[in-house]
């Protein structure tokens, strides 16, 4: 408040800066790693808002750390991650629990818990998953192989694919950036030509024939339909061929009462979650006695800076102008004489 009054009273800002020198520093920071016991999606109202896509991480909180105080230390603790959309949520869960695209060799799960100096709490999460695509997952076909598949009785036309309930997979395949496997394609847009079922395959085992690029110089790839929604969230590792990567920033929260978890499964490989707790506090750069001693010098500097910028004050301009219609008032006694 004192800094605000000084800023209004003085033409400069040195004095106000002298008194407004609070800085926010990190008072304490702690990092603890927990083992992820299960991964799933939120069902019901456990996330507070069922409309938000949510990944549930069930972690073992028996270790010493900030998360052990959130609930019973002997019970699993649920951490909720809120990615930007539902496909990213499903891709995170599938990559950790099934690895349908290829084995993961990068599993980075970090939750940042920040307690600000104003008493607010912010929680964010970083998810970084990456690996190498399984051999044969995506097959690039030449013209003769494509013609043979399109003429095969096992081929399902695109229109029938949509009628049989494969709309999500077909639409996802046409949203995928196919530069994931064809890095030199200028656009990476795909068009689903048909579906292919192998002999004896179930209804869920369906491959899609996708043309990437234009009709003349494009490529045709064969990809499992069930992985196409996941491919929408993946990107190619820069300068490395046949590698994929998923990076997502999420909001994070801990539910007061853990709710039911759908599609839960343990991670396919041992996965740890790093919880980083940061406590911020405000500190004074300059002590109060030093501020009092420096205030006259700062005020003088503010005045000098104002004079240098605007020039000296014209004292005559501060006097009110004289009214020419008002003359000298003479005494009536002087007129009688």
Report CA-CA distances (Å) from 241 to 91, 96, 174, 177, 182: 21, 22, 22, 15, 9
- Work out the pLDDT band at 22, boundaries 50, 70, 90: low
Q: Are strands 272-284 and 104-115 parallel, antiparallel or unpaired?
A: parallel
Q: Are residues 249 and 129 in the same domain?
A: yes
Instruction: Check whether residue 114 and residue 70 sit in a common domain.
Output: yes
**Does 83 lie in the same domain as 44?**
yes
Domain membership of residue 292 (yes or no) is no
> Contact 219/182 with Cβ under 8 angstroms?
yes
Could you tell me if 202 and 154 lie in one domain? yes
Same domain, 43 and 71: yes
In this prediction, residue 277 carries a pLDDT of 83
Domain, as residue range, for 48: 23-133+244-282
What is the token pair recorded at 76? 């699993």
Output the average pLDDT for the chain.
77
Is 109 in the same domain as 143? no
62-91 pLDDT per residue, tens: 654 444 434 444 456 888 999 988 899 999
207 found inside a domain: yes
d(CA 299, CA 301): 5
The pLDDT tens digits for 254-309 are 887 777 788 889 999 999 999 888 876 665 665 666 666 666 766 777 677 766 66
The model's confidence at residue 236, banded by pLDDT at 50, 70 and 90, is: confident
Residue 10 has pLDDT above 50, yes or no: no
Same domain, 156 and 206: yes
> Among 204, 221, 238, where does a domain finish?
238
Same domain, 147 and 269: no
Whether residues 77 and 33 share a domain: the answer is yes
Who wins on pLDDT, 302 or 172? 172
Number of domains in the chain: 2
Residue 250's pLDDT band, with cuts at 50, 70 and 90, is: very high
**Locate tokens 């800002």: which residue?**
13
Which tens digit of pLDDT belongs to each residue from 123-144?
899 999 999 988 888 888 888 9
Residue 33 domain-assigned (yes or no): yes
pTM assigned to the model: 0.69
CA distance 293 to 291: 5
As given in the structure block, the two tokens for residue 299 are 């005020």
Instruction: Kindly state the tokens that stand for 74.
Output: 């002997």
Domain identity same for 100 and 171: no
> Is residue 193 domain-shared with residue 256, that is, in the same domain?
no
- Same domain for 215 and 66, yes or no, is no
Tell me the pLDDT tens digit for each residue of 32-69.
888 999 999 986 544 444 468 899 999 886 654 444 43
């Amino acid at each position: 408040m004192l800094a605000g009054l000084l800023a209004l009273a003085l033409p400069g800002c040195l004095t106000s800066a002298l008194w407004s020198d609070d800085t926010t520093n990190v008072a304490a920071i702690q990092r603890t790693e927990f083992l992820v016991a299960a991964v799933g999606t939120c069902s019901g109202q456990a996330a507070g808002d069922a409309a938000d896509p949510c990944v549930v991480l069930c972690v073992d909180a028996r270790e010493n750390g900030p998360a052990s105080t959130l609930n019973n230390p002997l019970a699993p603790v649920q951490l909720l991650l809120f990615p930007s959309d539902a496909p990213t949520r499903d891709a995170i869960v599938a990559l950790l629990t099934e690895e349908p695209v290829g084995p993961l060799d990068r599993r980075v799960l970090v939750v940042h818990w920040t307690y600000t100096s104003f008493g607010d709490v912010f929680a964010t999460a970083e998810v970084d998953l990456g690996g190498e695509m399984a051999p044969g997952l995506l097959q690039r076909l030449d013209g003769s192989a494509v013609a043979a598949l399109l003429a095969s009785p096992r081929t399902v036309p695109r229109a029938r694919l949509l009628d049989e309930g494969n709309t999500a997979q077909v639409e996802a395949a046409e949203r995928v950036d196919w530069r994931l496997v064809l890095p030199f394609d200028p656009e990476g847009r795909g068009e689903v030509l048909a579906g292919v079922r192998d002999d004896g395959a179930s209804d869920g085992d369906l491959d899609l024939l996708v043309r990437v690029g234009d009709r003349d110089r494009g490529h045709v790839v064969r990809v499992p339909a069930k992985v196409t929604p996941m491919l929408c969230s993946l990107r190619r590792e820069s300068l490395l061929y046949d590698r994929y990567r998923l990076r997502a920033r999420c909001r994070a929260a801990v539910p007061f009462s853990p709710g039911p978890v759908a599609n839960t499964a343990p991670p396919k490989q041992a996965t740890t979650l790093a919880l980083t707790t940061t406590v911020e506090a405000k500190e004074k750069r300059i002590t109060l006695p030093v501020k009092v001693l420096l205030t006259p010098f700062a005020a003088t500097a503010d005045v000098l800076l104002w004079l240098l910028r605007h020039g000296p004050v014209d004292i005559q301009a501060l006097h009110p102008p004289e009214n020419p219609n008002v003359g000298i008032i003479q005494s009536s006694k002087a007129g009688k004489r």
